[in-house]
Amino acid sequence: MQATLALEDGRIFAGEGYGAPGEALGEVVFNTSLTGYQEIATDPSYAGQIVVMTNPQIGNYGTNEADNEAPKPYIEGLIVREFSPVSSNWRSERVTDEYMERYKVPVLAEIDTRALVRHLRTHGVMRGCISTSDTNVESLVAKARSIRKMDGMDLARVVSTPTAYSFAAEDSLAETGNSLLPDNTSSDRSLLHVVAYDFGIKRNILRMLTREGCRVTVVPAETRADQVMELKPDGVFLSNGPGDPEPVDYAVKAIREMLGRVPIFGICLGHQLTGLALGGRTYKLKFGHHGGNHPVKNLRTGKVEITAHNHNFAVDPESMNANDVDLTHVDLNDNTLEGLRHKSLPLFSVQYHPEAAPGPHDSNYLFHDFRKLMDEWKR
């Protein structure tokens, strides 16, 4: 079937449609990862967005339930150069075309994704519409322009779990099918209780926390600080998530009320909310950071880590109080702030994704640092 992408500035890309027929509306962003399209599709941080993959061949190793980062895809649509109609991998349970159709995700293929990405890099992210039914250019552009912009949009409460639930090492083993205890976990190691805010949390974050000897209680985004403290946590984790951090004022309030009372570790949206809670400001990037190959320098060690990113907003380093906060990580592509640590309180956060999925494992150590911080706080 034929499919068309219309951007809000009138740029049109016509190609072949796969996945689910119909229309997709969302903010168009590009991801530079070579693999991991299923993890990307099921990352709740992509809610409200259409994702363009820069790697030309997508879908060739199929899909399987174990690689889902959430129960379903959250992307509005997928755009690729070449979409494989078959899969060739021993782990594949369903070809990608069938997977996208099952979850009602339209796919646009056979377009010049290089031209589209260059357009977005030059002009910034844009609202767009993918359609397999409407071919009227003016109509499609009008639909793209009708979408609400991501600025000022609170999507954390939309993707968050409605009720609290528990996740322990046994759950991690059941998901992976591994008969051994997770890395860094031993049967006689005392479990620490982590309360994780779900602003759009990924499953691999939960797995990484259990590998550090934690049992995790996942709570809704709007959970109050007093409700969290009643659970007697050894640490609080602030997850990734979609949308603009500034409207998520309820989470900022909760973080402020927990400062100094319990160790806190935040990533992605959790990092941005941490910056706001410490009196900082956030701003929207021109085309965001999306991919598994971003070089980030750890200013404390001098080492460069290759990291996974998925965010459209960033914390303004100039807005942070240098008397209270150390800036710990910086993006070597554009010098944006990638990490901070409070000088006197048990709190640190990073903008990127140390759990990867997909992406490199250079930053896995941050979960061990969180475990160490909790151990020290208990003494």
* Res 26 pLDDT > 50: yes
The model's confidence at residue 237, banded by pLDDT at 50, 70 and 90, is very high
User: How confident is the prediction for the chain on average, in pLDDT?
Assistant: 94
* Res 172 pLDDT > 70: no
The model's confidence at residue 33, banded by pLDDT at 50, 70 and 90, is very high
The model's confidence at residue 189, banded by pLDDT at 50, 70 and 90, is low
H-helix segments, the chain: 37-41, 96-102, 113-123, 137-146, 156-159, 169-176, 203-211, 225-230, 249-258, 269-277, 365-378
* Res 332 pLDDT > 70: yes
Mean pLDDT of 40-68: 97
Per-residue model confidence as pLDDT tens digits over 246-262 = 999 999 999 999 999 99
Give the pLDDT confidence score for residue 184 in this predicted structure: 45
* Cis amide leading into 358 (omega within 30): yes
* Res 216 pLDDT > 70: yes
* Res 113 pLDDT > 50: yes
Q: What angle do CA 261, 262, 263 make, to 5 degrees?
A: 135
Exposed/middle/buried for 18, CB within 10 Å: 0-12, 13-18, 19+? buried
Give the pLDDT confidence score for residue 379 in this predicted structure: 77
Tell me how crowded residue 340 is: count the other CB atoms within 10 A of its CB: 25
The domain limits of the chain are 2-146, 156-378
Extended beta strands in the chain, E state: 2-7, 12-19, 23-31, 49-53, 57-58, 77-79, 82-83, 106-109, 126-131, 165-167, 192-198, 214-220, 235-238, 264-267, 282-298, 304-315, 325-331, 337-342, 347-350
Per-residue model confidence as pLDDT tens digits over 58-86 = 999 999 999 999 999 999 999 999 999 99
Per-residue model confidence as pLDDT tens digits over 150-159 = 999 999 999 9
CATH H superfamily, domain 156-378: Class I glutamine amidotransferase (GATase) domain (3.40.50.880)
Find the range with the poorest average confidence among 142-151, 175-184, 189-198, 252-261: 175-184
H-helix segments, 32-77: 37-41
CATH class of 2-146: alpha beta
Per-residue model confidence as pLDDT tens digits over 277-327 = 999 999 999 999 999 999 999 999 999 999 999 999 999 999 999 999 999
The model's confidence at residue 173, banded by pLDDT at 50, 70 and 90, is low
State the Rg of the chain over Cα: 20
Give the pLDDT confidence score for residue 105 in this predicted structure: 98
Find the range with the poorest average confidence among 175-184, 230-239, 321-330: 175-184
* Res 182 pLDDT > 60: no
What is the dihedral sign for C-alpha 64, 294, 44, 215?
positive
* Active site (catalytic) residues: 268, 353, 355
Give the pLDDT confidence score for residue 135 in this predicted structure: 87
* Res 181 pLDDT > 60: no
pTM (predicted TM-score): 0.94
The model's confidence at residue 346, banded by pLDDT at 50, 70 and 90, is very high
Exposed/middle/buried for 77, CB within 10 Å: 0-12, 13-18, 19+? buried
Question: Structure tokens of 130?
Answer: 């993918």
What is the dihedral sign for C-alpha 59, 62, 64, 67?
negative
**CA atoms of 316 and 331, how far apart (whole Å):** 13
Contact partners, residue 52, CB within 8 Å, separation at least 6:
28, 29, 30, 31, 79, 80, 113, 116, 117, 120
Mean pLDDT of 45-55: 97
The model's confidence at residue 179, banded by pLDDT at 50, 70 and 90, is very low
* Res 161 pLDDT > 50: yes
How many Cα atoms are found within 13 Å in the side-chain-facing hemisphere of 315? 33
